[in-house]
A and B are shown apart, each in its own frame.
Chain A
């Protein structure tokens, strides 16, 4: 079964609780700070920001508990910050400084903390999450494994092997697809035949498509989905139509100006600022300053160390 939750005509966004707004803004300023540091040559390697997509993990945050497993991907800073509220540890990981979540070994896209894991090979986590979901089903019923995937990652066979096993074995596996219409430089209509809903349906897996970028609307749409995955021990695919406001990684945006403008026009950030200027203004300023403080703090730390005993 496929269902679509469409936002009504462009109405004002729902007013958010301060905590939700703070988290959205923390992620936004964290990502902006990273791009800034890259621009100044203060970071090396690569990073993928989730600008424009911050509301996805924020909407999911209260729907998950610590016992659920979350599998993130290359675009995972928002996923991590929504789970742990730990910008210091994440930035230290990206910068290779003391206090890094994984001692600087994993970097931006390879993080393991408690029941949160990210890795850099597209689609690979889907069967791993199915294995974890099998374990949860046997020993901790009611808990689930969530995998974040991009639209482009639906080109990987591993996703279908995982979906098949999850459907056959009734695994509490939730695939959260952040369909931002593009994979690196390739538009979705040039890399994905048919539809994600059609693919889910082929496995007899329920699919929900959500077009709103309003945190509250998305949360309300996802609440029954997670309940169902937990109660029925069943896989589910939710597809969020979203917009990548920034480049794929650092400065590699080859989209036409009007495409970028289209993504920007859907950015929750500007819309929310316009709808609730007072609430937004104060919180935005505070989170910007907080992230600046985090950057100053972490940048001043010594390099991370990888002890012999931690080398596997």
Chain B
């Protein structure tokens, strides 16, 4: 059986620290024996005590320190304990790290990744469950990625650092304990491959089926949920749904997302965040502009409710995107024409 996502991330960090003596990993409560709030950094400080640092509770300051290391030609990976708190580092990301790549009139490499455990469904309540990714969309010089069970995190993190641009890596907390997919196999019905020159987009489909009734595009955190919806749709409703999971959300990888969407002519984009200024809305805008002639239905977006995220499980479910919401959206889009 393939490893768990948290192990894949942990191994990725081990490998990167081993490969790159200029890399520092820093964040709150990272060092052993605690090893980080979600145990992603377990074992790192024992091997590299000088380069794996537990910091004070200072999200802005930590990202600033990482920006300083990057400015000095080093590499840095920061862990923000809960993505909600990346709000406290917004200035460093918006006004320093991303700006510095260009505002001095020449390209300044900034090898910096900020990892953000994100999302709900764990009962952590209104300030520890949000998906603030959308607030980082459209910032020049800043890339936004999300962990998925299809993308190896060593490749993702090394690729992000190699761009010389700062990036955010959102990690849906429900993924940590789930398993990575391996060898192109999802289950007995579905297969996956990684498409595009940089293998950035995971494409999940029924065997070699090229033609789908609908394409479902989701960030990595919703990937397993999207796959289970696609399975239900196939078995219960006889709807063939292809799932696309890009690793890099921003800048948008339209070259790899648009062709399958054009073939199906119908697309649903699901995100766990609330609606309003989202990645999905940006994707919808591009699809409408570029594929207007080949669309059979308007792009359909699925979001969580416009609400704070309650703590109690039965209440949380009423707010966050559920499989049934995605299922329903696909059915409506497919039957609507």
Task: Name A's B-contacting residues (CB within 8 A).
Answer: 69, 100-106, 110-112, 117, 119, 121, 124, 126-136, 138, 145, 157-158, 161-162, 164-165, 168, 304, 306, 309-312
- Asked, given contacts A103-B106, A112-B104, A311-B107, whether A134 binds B60 with beta carbons under 8 Å apart, the answer is no
A residues within 8 A CB of B24?
Answer: 134
A130 lies within 8 A of B68 (CB): yes
- Asked, given contacts A131-B64, A131-B68, whether A102 binds B55 with beta carbons under 8 Å apart, the answer is no
B72 lies within 8 A of A131 (CB): yes
A124 lies within 8 A of B56 (CB): no
A127 lies within 8 A of B140 (CB): no
B64 lies within 8 A of A161 (CB): yes
The 7 closest A-B pairs by CB, nearest first: A131-B68, A127-B64, A312-B102, A161-B61, A103-B105, A102-B105, A131-B65
Distance, CA A138 to CA B73, complexed state (A): 13
- Asked, given contacts A103-B105, A124-B64, A161-B58, whether A312 binds B72 with beta carbons under 8 Å apart, the answer is no
Q: Does B95 contact A (CB under 8 A)?
A: yes
B residues within 8 A CB of A132?
Answer: 68-69, 71-72
Q: Does B74 contact A (CB under 8 A)?
A: yes
Using A121-B91, A128-B71, A134-B65 as known contacts, list a sample of 12 further A-B pairs with CB atoms less than 8 Å apart, ordered by residue number in A: A101-B105, A105-B102, A127-B61, A127-B62, A128-B92, A130-B61, A134-B68, A165-B61, A306-B105, A312-B103, A312-B108, A312-B165
B107 lies within 8 A of A309 (CB): yes
B56 lies within 8 A of A135 (CB): no
A128 lies within 8 A of B68 (CB): yes
Q: Does B67 contact A (CB under 8 A)?
A: yes
B68 lies within 8 A of A165 (CB): no
B residues within 8 A CB of A134?
Answer: 24, 65, 68-69
A128 lies within 8 A of B105 (CB): no
Q: Per a CB cutoff under 8 Å, which of A69, A136, A158 touches B61?
A: A158
Distance, CA A59 to CA B217, complexed state (A): 60
A158 lies within 8 A of B60 (CB): yes
A111 lies within 8 A of B104 (CB): yes
A131 lies within 8 A of B107 (CB): no
A64 vs chain B, min Cβ distance (A): 17
B68 lies within 8 A of A135 (CB): yes
Distance, CA A106 to CA B70, complexed state (A): 19
B residues within 8 A CB of A119?
Answer: 95-96, 99-100
- Asked, given contacts A128-B64, A130-B68, whether A311 binds B102 with beta carbons under 8 Å apart, the answer is yes
Distance, CA A104 to CA B102, complexed state (A): 12
Interface size class of B (residues with CB under 8 A): 35 or more
- Asked, given contacts A121-B91, A124-B91, A312-B140, whether A165 binds B103 with beta carbons under 8 Å apart, the answer is no
A165 lies within 8 A of B58 (CB): yes
- Asked, given contacts A135-B72, A164-B56, whether A112 binds B91 with beta carbons under 8 Å apart, the answer is no
Interface centre among B50, B65, B106 (most CB of A within 10 A): B65
B residues within 8 A CB of A136?
Answer: 72
Task: Name B's A-contacting residues (CB within 8 A).
Answer: 24, 50, 55-56, 58, 60-72, 74, 76, 91-92, 95-96, 99-108, 140-141, 165
What is the chain B residue whose CB lies nearest that of A129? B68
Residue contacts A-B, CB under 8 angstroms, 8 given: A105-B102, A105-B103, A110-B103, A129-B68, A134-B24, A134-B65, A161-B58, A165-B61
Distance, CA A134 to CA B53, complexed state (A): 12
B residues within 8 A CB of A112?
Answer: 100, 104, 108
Distance, CA A132 to CA B64, complexed state (A): 10
What is the chain A residue whose CB lies nearest that of B66? A131
A128 lies within 8 A of B106 (CB): no
B65 vs chain A, min Cβ distance (A): 4
B residues within 8 A CB of A100?
Answer: 105
What is the chain B residue whose CB lies nearest that of A173? B68
- Asked, given contacts A161-B60, A162-B61, A311-B107, whether A124 binds B96 with beta carbons under 8 Å apart, the answer is yes
Distance, CA A134 to CA B91, complexed state (A): 21
A residues within 8 A CB of B70?
Answer: 131
Q: Per a CB cutoff under 8 Å, which of A102, A117, A158, A168 touches B64?
A: A158
Distance, CA A312 to CA B251, complexed state (A): 14
B240 vs chain A, min Cβ distance (A): 42
B96 lies within 8 A of A121 (CB): yes
A residues within 8 A CB of B91?
Answer: 121, 124, 158
What is the chain B residue whose CB lies nearest that of A306? B105
Distance, CA A124 to CA B88, complexed state (A): 12
B residues within 8 A CB of A128?
Answer: 64-65, 67-68, 71, 92, 96
What is the chain A residue whose CB lies nearest that of B94? A121
B residues within 8 A CB of A110?
Answer: 99, 103-104
A312 vs chain B, min Cβ distance (A): 3
A105 lies within 8 A of B104 (CB): yes
A residues within 8 A CB of B108?
Answer: 112, 312
B103 lies within 8 A of A106 (CB): yes
A106 lies within 8 A of B72 (CB): no
A153 vs chain B, min Cβ distance (A): 13
